[in-house]
Chain A
């Protein structure tokens, strides 16, 4: 009787939900809108406002969380998750998840990125690893038959691929593109057994970490690798598409971009070359999280559930900007057998998730700043990393 009363009242009042995220591509947004429309049809009393924030996403979300005007459901990158989980602004989702939702279907490492003290604060929507993109035309011209399997091979191949076509002493094609950012280099830190953090402190200036990073610096100093700005591009995928670099280490998001922007480009993708006889790559994941101060938590969960259950995920995950986080969907959509995506899927077995606790943003700024000066040869790598680590740790100490 009471239940009936409540349900009839619920249908009368419409609930307004806000869903915020960024958009990597208009096509992706259109698909999401389609799923949201289906959702609104299924739950006529819930009205979803989809809002796209494309610039400085986290600054906007943080400011809105502070001002208590944050969206009910929003995207969150794994590496920003620890801070928000720590401050308790996210709703724990354990009590909402039903057995039918089949949480076990999610890749465990992705789910762990949004877990703290056994509480689940977010549902991973998709992910991507890094793999080696190579230009087949450039490889054929240099008579290289297969993509490099080890990092030593990669360095050798890069030398062959660094070409000055018109002999004006300005290199027209570099071997490989380098992104001098911690987000792209932290697997190099781990390659020889180093670690980003230890006991909630920066710890990347150890000899083991330096060994991996030195490979990148040496190659850049030799002139067989380039940053995007060296070749006048905004990103490595752009430089790769323009043929200014013959290899790039990129993720799934680059595939639709390259196909659309550079339709004549012939490229293939291989798994990351092994370093120190070990496989390694990065994985980036984005999840849906719920605002703890949301006024309509039940409705918000319904939305998250609808977007991340098998049917919902299937609808919008077939565009290939990222890989779906549910294993069943990944297999159903055939990503693991698609030659372009298979290396990225394979990488998920040995990838490290881009996340290192709430101190990562501090570490990141200091690493990026010093690493680039080492890359440019202004100081030695060991000195640069020592400085970055010390500054980061002092900032971490002082902010507590």
Chain B
């Protein structure tokens, strides 16, 4: 009885000291992460007036019902989905390709690594401004295209190409980050496997297909998940491109930009928060689907 009591006491003490050590983190995460999430969920079911006299009025599912009727959400979702569907595969493949090239013993390897990585460490606002110069009707890109006899595009003003302009820029800027991750993973693959495969007479292509790719699977999962989350949250580039309007003709309107407009331009906090929840749900479900997909493959 006594010993048992003592034992349990020690465990509580251990537990307590454990929590005491974690306290700073728990407080910081609680205040800046958990609390806002709870607050978001609660306020998403309210009509919130923040300017002047602050007032909250419970309005049930009205914020969510409203979404079905909101054309701009569908446009934003469509834009975002198109953006994700094009950017994620291309940037992943590009990152893998670059990593494979830089993993071989080419001359000036470290120079290339730095050069490729530079766009990633540059601020995205600066990159966007540089690209806006490149995309200018009299800019570098149109000049380059005209050398091959293409006509000039109004990259910034034409709804058909504005989003593609942002895609190109983002692929160029994020692929190197994932390249570095791939590069690190490539160096973890034991050299002996390749040697054994070479003895068995495997071609380089077979080596890549049967050794490199399977080994990179966990990294690929990570790269795709991070890529999808990042692209779903596209905001700053389209914000700067369109001056915050999502134009021309809603072509660069993304979900996060729409949330920003509702929250800070129209001051409809409740609705904006409801949209935030929906975006979180979308990202979560996409990630879950991928998890299932990747797990099944690894069982084979």
Contacts and interface: CB of A to CB of B under 8 A. Distances in A.
Interface of A: 56, 58-59, 62-63, 65-66, 83-84, 87-89, 170, 227, 229-232, 361-362, 365, 368-370, 372-373, 376, 378, 391, 394-395, 398-399
Contact of A63 (B154, B248, B261, B264): B264
A182 B159 CA distance: 18
B119 interface: no
Interface in B251-289: 261, 264-268, 271
B137 A232 contact: yes
A59 B265 CA distance: 7
A89 B159 contact: no
A370 B53 contact: no
B71 interface: yes
B245 A365 contact: yes
B300 interface: no
Nearest to B63: A398
Contacts of B136: 232
Contacts of A399: 266, 268, 271
A84 B51 CA distance: 8
Contact of B138 (A88, A232, A398): A232
Contacts of B66: 398
Contacts of B51: 62, 65-66, 83-84, 87, 89
Nearest to A373: B249
Interface in B224-259: 244-250
Question: What size tier do the contact residues of chain B reach?
Answer: 20 to 34
B297 interface: no
Contact of A230 (B52, B154, B247, B249): B154
A391 B245 CA distance: 16
B159 A373 contact: yes
Given A63-B264, A227-B157, A232-B137, A56 B72 contact: no
Contact of B52 (A89, A231, A362): A89
Nearest to A394: B69
B266 A369 contact: no
Contacts of B248: 369, 372-373, 376
Given A231-B138, A372-B159, A373-B159, 10 more contacts: A62-B51, A62-B264, A62-B267, A63-B264, A87-B52, A89-B51, A361-B266, A376-B249, A378-B159, A398-B70
A376 B244 contact: no
Nearest to B132: A234
Contacts of B250: 369
A345 B158 CA distance: 36
4 closest A-B pairs by CB: A87-B52, A229-B157, A232-B137, A232-B138
B50 interface: yes
15 contacts: A58-B265, A59-B264, A63-B264, A87-B53, A88-B52, A227-B157, A229-B157, A230-B157, A365-B261, A370-B249, A373-B249, A376-B248, A394-B70, A398-B70, A399-B271
Contacts of A370: 249
A88 B54 CA distance: 11
User: Chain B's interface: helix, strand, loop or mixed, by majority?
Assistant: loop
Nearest to B250: A369
Contact of B245 (A88, A170, A368, A395): A368
Given A361-B266, A369-B250, A398-B69, A376 B159 contact: yes
Nearest to B268: A399
B249 A229 contact: no
Contacts of A170: 152
Contacts of A63: 264
Given A376-B159, A394-B69, A88 B266 contact: no
A372 to B, nearest CB: 5
B158 A391 contact: no
B89 interface: no
Contacts of A58: 265
Interface in B48-67: 49-53, 66
Interface string B134-148: 001111000000000
Contacts of A361: 265-266
Contacts of A88: 52-53
Interface in B22-73: 49-53, 66, 69-72
Contacts of A65: 51
Contacts of A87: 49, 51-53
A56 B66 CA distance: 28
B268 A66 contact: no
Interface string B97-120: 000000000000000000000000
A180 B248 CA distance: 10
B166 interface: no
Contacts of A362: 266
B156 interface: yes
Contacts of A62: 51, 264, 267
B247 A368 contact: yes
Contacts of A89: 51-52
Contacts of B72: 391
Contacts of B246: 369
Given A370-B249, A372-B249, A391 B71 contact: yes
Nearest to A89: B52
Contacts of A395: 70
B137 A230 contact: yes
Nearest to B65: A398
A291 to B, nearest CB: 11
Contacts of A231: 137-138
A306 B275 CA distance: 46
Nearest to B243: A56
B154 A229 contact: yes
Interface in B193-248: 244-248
